[in-house]
């Protein structure tokens, strides 16, 4: 029974890593590539590590696998955020079919800090709270 679980988790893990690799090649801009890698590759690596823990069935291996999975789940989104933020500040363009740019006119290009809310944001917040 354990062998079947190892086959299933390692198979799904390999599929998700493959999908992350294909998504990296197919996505039109860096921001979408970051999204693909953060989600699919993290899930794929987590499943492959789970397969390793199921295969060995030892406490030392399982605790290390759990520690690595927790580390990846914590660091992958933070790393993706920092790469995306740096890319935006350096001027990497969004995909030409992107609908909105949420940071447009909301940060100082010299200090890289977000500006305060605009009057439009406050009016929209009041309108949404009245609904």
In a domain, 74, yes or no: yes
Q: Helices 42-56 and 59-90 sit at what angle, rounded to 10 degrees?
A: 170
The boundaries of the domain holding residue 78 are 2-94
In a domain, 31, yes or no: yes
Tokens linked to 50: 């789970």
In a domain, 32, yes or no: yes
pLDDT tens-digit readout, 18-76: 999 999 999 998 888 999 989 999 999 999 999 999 999 999 999 999 999 999 999 99
Tokens linked to 60: 């030392």
How many domains, the chain? 1
Cα first-last separation, the chain: 54
**41: closest CA among 77, 86, 81?**
77
Q: What is the pTM of this model?
A: 0.77
In a domain, 104, yes or no: no
In a domain, 50, yes or no: yes
**DSSP 8-state assignment for residue 29:** S
In a domain, 122, yes or no: no
In a domain, 130, yes or no: no
């Amino acid at each position: 029974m354990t062998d079947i679980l190892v086959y299933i988790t390692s198979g799904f893990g390999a599929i998700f890593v493959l999908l992350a690799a294909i998504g990296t090649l197919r996505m039109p801009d860096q921001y979408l590539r970051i999204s693909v890698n953060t989600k699919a590759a993290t899930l794929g690596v987590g499943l492959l590590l789970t397969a390793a823990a199921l295969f060995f069935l030892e406490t030392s291996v399982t605790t290390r696998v759990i520690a690595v999975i927790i580390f990846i789940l914590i660091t992958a989104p933070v790393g993706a955020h920092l790469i995306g933020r740096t890319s935006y500040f350096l001027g990497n363009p969004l995909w030409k079919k992107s609908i909105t740019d949420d940071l447009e006119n909301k940060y100082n290009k010299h200090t890289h800090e977000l500006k305060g809310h605009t009057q439009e944001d406050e009016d929209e917040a009041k309108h949404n709270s009245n609904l």
